[in-house]
Structure 1
Amino acid sequence: MNPNLIQAARTLPTSLALALALAACSGRGEPAAPAQAAATPPATGAAAEHGALPADWRRVGGETVPSVAAGAATLPATVHSDDGVDVQVDDASRIIAGGDDIIAVIEALGQGSQVFAAPTNATTDAGRAAPHRFLFNRTTGVEGVLSLGGSLFLGNSLRRHSDLAEKLRAVGQDAVIIDDLQPAPDKVRKVAAAIGRTVAGVALADAVQTQLDEAAGIATASMSTPRVIHVSATGAGGNPTVAGADSASGKLIALAGGLNIGTEAGVANFSALSNEGVVAAAPEVILVTEHDLQLFGGADGLWKAYPTLKQTPAGQAGRVWVMPDLQLKYTSVGSGAGALALARALAALPPA
C-alpha cells in the first residue's frame, strides 16, 4: 500500500514494552477487460461451521471485491520474478500456487480453474477445489513439486520459495515468485502478468487502488485513531499471535485509520503477546479472521487463548470484529474491500 497513506505509530509506552513477551515468526495484445464489482462469495469454512457470532460481535467485510472477465492468456510472456530472475512463462494452465493471496488474484481474473495445486490450508474456493493439495514451506522438495505435474509454480514468499524456485528452473520448470509483503495493486499486476493477463491485471489493480484510496480518505477525515489488535491462531510455533508492523493486516489497519498494537510495539510479522501485554495494550477493537476463529475453536477458544482480552476496553465492550482472511490477513485483490469496510467501521465508533 502507498506508504504515504499509512499513519505513523505512536511511541510504545514503557509499561507496555515491559509487558510484551514477543516471539518473532515469522502480455501484451490482450483486449482490455474493465474491472467490475463482484459480490463477495458466501462465507465458507469458519463462518459456516460456527454460525452466528456472540451478540456483541460483528462481521466486518467489504461487500464487493473487484474482478474482471475471464479471457485468453497472451503467452509466452517474460515476467520479472521478485527473486530477480526474468522468467519466460509458456503455459499457465496448471498453476501450482504458493498461497491464497496468489489464488485470490487468479480467481478475480476469472482463471480459478487453472489452480492445479494449492496449500493444504487454502481457504479460497479455487484452492479448496484444486486437484492437488500440498504443504508449502521452507523444506518443500523439488521432486514433490515436479511430481504434481504442474506447468507453472507461483510462489508467494522470497523467504520460503526462493531456493525452491531456483531449483525448479534448473530442471526446466517455470517458477515465478510474487512476494507476499508488497502493496496489493503491485501483487495483482504481477500475478496477472505471470499468467498472461497483463492488461486485465492493470484494470484489476486500478480498481483495488481506488478502494484503498477511498479507505485512506475516510481515515484522514476521522477525528480519532482507535487502538486495534489483530489476533491470530498461528505464527509463533503454533501459539496465538498478534499482527506486527510489516504484516498485511498491520498496514491495512493503519491505512484504515487505526493504531495497530503490534506496530506500536515495533514487532515484525506475527508475534506472541503475553496476557499482561494484552491488558497493557488496551485495544478498543479486536480483529480476528474467519479462518483463525475456526482454528481458535470459536469465541470460547479465542478467550481461552487470550483470557485477558476480556479485561481490555474492546473485550469489555464485546467489540470483536470478524473479517474475511483475504480482506485482512493477506495482501491481495480483497485488500481494498477490506480496508474500505474497516475504515468505515472505525470511523463510526463513538469517541473514546
Structure 2
Amino acid sequence: MQLKLRWSTVLLLLCFHISVSVSAQSTAAKRIVSLNGTVTEILCDLGFQQQIVGVDVTSTWPAAMDKVPKVGHNRNITAEPVLALQPDMIISTTNFLSPAVLSQFENVGIKHLIVEQEYSVAGTKKLITQIAAALKVADKGAQLCKQLDQQQAALKIVPQNKKVLFIYARGAGTMMVAGEATPMDKMIALAGAKNAANGFNDFKPLTAEALVAANPDVILLFDTGLQSLGGVDGLLKVPGVAQTSAGKNKKVIVMDGQLLTGFSPRVITAVKELSQKISG
C-alpha cells in the first residue's frame, strides 16, 4: 500500500511538473510589442497573435493587427508609447531601432530581442529560427522553415529580360527610386527580372533625366504609392515617365508594401506574384 502511495505521489508530482513546464513555455511572453511588420507576421505564424499588445505601423498582416495599438513607424520609434503598453518582451530588427531607444529598453529591464534582417529567403528562415528559439517554440519555427522550403522548391521562375524600376511615392512631391542592396532590388532579382536603377545603393530622388536614361520596361510601386499620385494617369504626368517604355505601354504594376518588401513567411508568395505581374 505504501509503495502504491509513493508511486501515486511520484506520478502526481510528475504530471504537475509537466503541466508547469508547458505552461511556463507557452506563457514565456504574455505581452509582446513587435516593432517590425515581418516580426509581427512571424509571431502570428508561431502562434503568438494573442500575446501581441502593440505593433508598429508596418505591421499590416494579418488583418487582425489593424485592431492592435500602434506605437509609431519603425523608422522613428520612441520608447514612451512602447513602455506605456507594459510589455514583457519587445522584438525588433537592427535596421531601424536607434541605440538611444534600445538603451531605454535596457535601462527598464524589459526583455528584448533585436535581430538582424537579411533580405533573402535564407534570411527569412534565419529570422524565424531566432524568434522561435527566443520564445521557446523551436519546433514550430522549424516547421515554418520547412514550409518555406517546400514552397521554394515548387516555385518555377523563368528569367525575364525586363528592366523594372521601383518608385517610392508619397505624392508627386516625394518620389524616390530604389537602387541596389534594397529589398526591392532583391525581390526584382528573385522574380527573374533586372533592376533598372543600378550603379548606386539605397534610394535616390527621382529625376526626369535619370528616368529616361534608365528606360524601364515596367514601373513598380506600392499600391498606396500609386494612389498618392492619382493612379496611372497621375504617374504619367510625372516628368520623364511618359518617355519611358513603361510609360508608353502603361506597364505599371503595384503590390502591397509589406508583402513586397517584408521578406516575411509570405516571401515566396510575393516572388510569385511579382513575377506574374512583370510578365503579364
User: Aligning the two structures, in what range does the TM-score lie when normalised by the shorter sequence?
Assistant: 0.7 to 0.9
Kindly indicate whether residue 151 of structure 2 is the aligned counterpart of residue 211 of structure 1: yes
Contact 2:58 2:74 in 1 (8 A): no
* Structure 2 CA distance for aligned equivalents of residues 210 and 265 of structure 1: 35
Q: 1:317/1:210 Cα in 2 relative to 1: closer, same or farther (>3 Å)? A: farther
Kindly indicate whether residue 25 of structure 2 is the aligned counterpart of residue 75 of structure 1: yes
Identity of aligned residues (%): 26
Aligned residues between the structures: 253
**Among 300, 325, 330, the residue aligned to 2:262:** 330
TM-score, normalization: structure 1? 0.63
Q: 1:260/1:121 Cα in 2 relative to 1: closer, same or farther (>3 Å)? A: same
Q: 2:67 is matched by which residue type in structure 1?
A: A
* Structure 1 CA distance for aligned equivalents of residues 103 and 162 of structure 2: 44
In the TM superposition, what whole-angstrom CA distance separates every residue of 1:243-293 from its partner, at most 9, and x where no partner exists? 22122221011122111123x23222x332211111111111111222333
Kindly indicate whether residue 46 of structure 2 is the aligned counterpart of residue 109 of structure 1: yes
Partner of 2:31: 94
The offset of 1:121, in angstroms, is 5.2
Kindly indicate whether residue 117 of structure 2 is the aligned counterpart of residue 167 of structure 1: no
**Among 190, 205, 213, the residue aligned to 2:130:** 190
- The unaligned stretches of length 5 or more in structure 2 are 1-21
Contact 1:181 1:247 in 2 (8 A): no
Contact 1:118 1:128 in 2 (8 A): no
Partner of 1:128: 66
Contact 1:181 1:246 in 2 (8 A): no
Q: How does 1:309-348 map to 2 (within 5 A)?
A: 309-346=241-278, 348=279
Q: 1:251/1:299 Cα in 2 relative to 1: closer, same or farther (>3 Å)? A: same
Kindly indicate whether residue 115 of structure 2 is the aligned counterpart of residue 178 of structure 1: yes
* Structure 2 CA distance for aligned equivalents of residues 265 and 74 of structure 1: 52
The offset of 1:200, in angstroms, is 1.3
* Structure 2 CA distance for aligned equivalents of residues 179 and 297 of structure 1: 36
* Structure 2 CA distance for aligned equivalents of residues 140 and 323 of structure 1: 25
Contact 1:228 1:260 in 2 (8 A): yes
In the TM superposition, what whole-angstrom CA distance separates every residue of 1:42-68 from its partner, at most 9, and x where no partner exists? xxxxxxxxxxxxxxxxxxxxxxxxxxx
In the TM superposition, what whole-angstrom CA distance separates every residue of 1:169-202 from its partner, at most 9, and x where no partner exists? 2321011112333422222222333333321122
Contact 2:71 2:77 in 1 (8 A): no
The offset of 1:214, in angstroms, is 4.7
The offset of 1:339, in angstroms, is 0.8
The offset of 1:318, in angstroms, is 1.6
In the TM superposition, what whole-angstrom CA distance separates every residue of 1:91-111 from its partner, at most 9, and x where no partner exists? 423221112121122233343
Q: 1:330 is matched by which residue type in structure 2?
A: G
- The unaligned stretches of length 5 or more in structure 1 are 1-71, 77-89
**Among 277, 287, 291, the residue aligned to 2:220:** 287
* Structure 1 CA distance for aligned equivalents of residues 92 and 24 of structure 2: 21
**Among 163, 180, 189, the residue aligned to 1:245:** 180
* Structure 2 CA distance for aligned equivalents of residues 73 and 246 of structure 1: 43
Q: Which has the higher helix share?
A: 2
Q: 1:321/1:136 Cα in 2 relative to 1: closer, same or farther (>3 Å)? A: closer
The offset of 1:301, in angstroms, is 4.3
Q: Secondary structure at the residue paired with 2:97?
A: helix
* Structure 2 CA distance for aligned equivalents of residues 161 and 196 of structure 1: 27
